[in-house]
Amino acid sequence: MLDQNTSGQTLLKVENLTTQFEIQAKSFFKKPTMLTAVNDVSFELKEGRTLGIVGESGCGKSTLGRSILQLIRAQEGRVVWQGKNLLDLTPEQIRLARRDMQIIFQDPIASLDPRMTVGDIIAEPLTVFEPKLSRAERTERVREIMEAVGLVPEMINRYPHEFSGGQAQRIGIARAVITRPKLIVCDEPVSALDVSIQGQVITLLRKLRKEFGLTLIFISHDLSVVRLISDDVLVLYLGRIVEAGDCATVFSAPAHPYTQALFSAAPIPDPKLARQRSRIRLQGDPPSPMNPPPGCPFQPRCWKATDICRTKMPPTELVRPGQSAACYHMDRPPET
């Protein structure tokens, strides 16, 4: 379990969360196969912090984020939100809880209804959670939040197709924060944007986090972005947490071989440093979650794997204060 900074109250606690999908067999006579997208994940998130979730495509990052919000129903475990297990709530209770739990999607254009004006899109959460507001009051709130995210309020009656990708993502951000939620899941919110626009959106999220007291879960495959915005980080592989800890510690001294390989593949803007860096090149592709390997899920690609790795799942152990990993051969700090 992620051992985070002890300051602040625990806002979210995830315990042994497992999310599976039933994959129908091609043959009528064969039983469906279960795909485990999130496998026994546990962590805590304290109020006001940003948790980065990283890993290769298909490792379960987005499924984890949506399982926390109950947009996808998990089969096992607990998602404790302000003392209540979301898996035990009725659909109506979950709907009411979503006032404080919002999401920003990866594709800014696809996440906006092309038939609605920008004003109606941003105001939609208000119509659900604050129905007593008059139309004039809703419009005023929309104009205020548009200005806060860097949009011109006079654009309130335009349609999504009239905006660029970066502007469309600002609309999505405005929709997510207009009810002043406590938690926002950012599901790869900058991956579809140009690099220059990515920086602007990250700066905006950091500003809003400070102004509105937001807590963020930031999902991304871009390690440089995660390092820039996150306080803590989870590294996922085949639906499992292989390493977790505060961002500075994990990035400066990754302990798990997969984390080391992941970080070594990240681009460095300095050409001289890039040429001097030694790269870790993994062999093969990640195994299928429908047919995971025995023992450690990373062992078929790991250069440190031994017999125990191929037969027994490694436990999660503390590497140093603020960092834990699940590996029999992790890099540990030298003994003093």
The answer for 97, left when phi > 0, alpha when psi is -120 to 50, beta otherwise, is alpha
Quote the Cα angle for 258-231-267, to 5°: 45
328 versus 32: the higher-pLDDT residue is 328
Residue 164's CB is within 10 A of a number of other CB atoms, namely: 13
User: For residue range 224-251, what is the model confidence (pLDDT) as tens digits?
Assistant: 899 999 999 999 999 999 999 999 999 9
Domain boundaries, position 77 = 10-100+181-326
pLDDT of residue 6: 43
Is the separation of the CB atoms in 296 and 313 below 8 Å?
yes
pLDDT of residue 5: 42
| Domain assignment of residue 59, yes or no | yes
| Domain assignment of residue 49, yes or no | yes
The per-residue pLDDT of the chain, averaged, comes to 90
pLDDT of residue 4: 42
CATH of the domain at 296: 3.40.50.300
pLDDT of residue 272: 64
From 4-8, 194-198, 236-240, the region with the lowest mean pLDDT: 4-8
Give the pLDDT band of residue 75 (cuts 50, 70, 90): very high
User: What's the total number of domains in the chain?
Assistant: 1
pLDDT of residue 273: 63
| Domain assignment of residue 76, yes or no | yes
| Domain assignment of residue 107, yes or no | no
pLDDT of residue 31: 79
| Domain assignment of residue 172, yes or no | no
| Domain assignment of residue 79, yes or no | yes
pLDDT of residue 260: 93
| Domain assignment of residue 315, yes or no | yes
pLDDT of residue 219: 96
Is the separation of the CB atoms in 239 and 37 below 8 Å?
yes
What tokens appear for 11 in the block? 């806002």
Residue 103 has pLDDT above 60, yes or no: yes
pLDDT of residue 270: 59
Range 319-329 burial, b when 16+ CB lie within 10 A, else e: beebbbbbbbb
User: For residue range 8-50, what is the model confidence (pLDDT) as tens digits?
Assistant: 799 999 999 999 998 877 776 777 888 999 999 999 999 999 9
| Domain assignment of residue 191, yes or no | yes
Give the pLDDT band of residue 296 (cuts 50, 70, 90): very high
User: For residue range 252-274, what is the model confidence (pLDDT) as tens digits?
Assistant: 999 999 999 998 877 666 566 65
Work out the average pLDDT over 182-200.
90
pLDDT of residue 247: 94
Percent of the chain with pLDDT over 70: 93
pLDDT of residue 276: 63
Percent of the chain with pLDDT over 90: 71
pLDDT of residue 7: 52
